Amino acid sequence: MKSENKRLNEKLSQISKEFSAFKQKVTAILYAQIDRVKTFLRIKDADQKYIKYLDDKRDTFVQDSLDKLEKPQKSKEMELGR
In DSSP notation, 21-61 reads HHHHHHHHHHHHHHHHHHHHHHHTT--HHHHHHHHHHHHHH
Report the domain count for the chain.
1
The residue ranking higher by pLDDT, 39 or 69, is: 39
pLDDT in tens, 46-68: 999 999 999 999 999 999 999 99
pTM tops 0.85, yes or no: no
Q: Are 31 and 62 in contact (CB under 8 A)?
A: yes
* Residue 18 three-state SS: helix
pLDDT in tens, 4-54: 899 999 999 999 999 999 999 999 999 999 999 999 999 999 999 999 999
Q: What is the pLDDT of residue 42?
A: 96
Q: What is the pLDDT of residue 80?
A: 64
Residue 76: give the domain boundaries.
Answer: 2-81
Residue 15: how many CA atoms within 13 Å on its side-chain side? 6
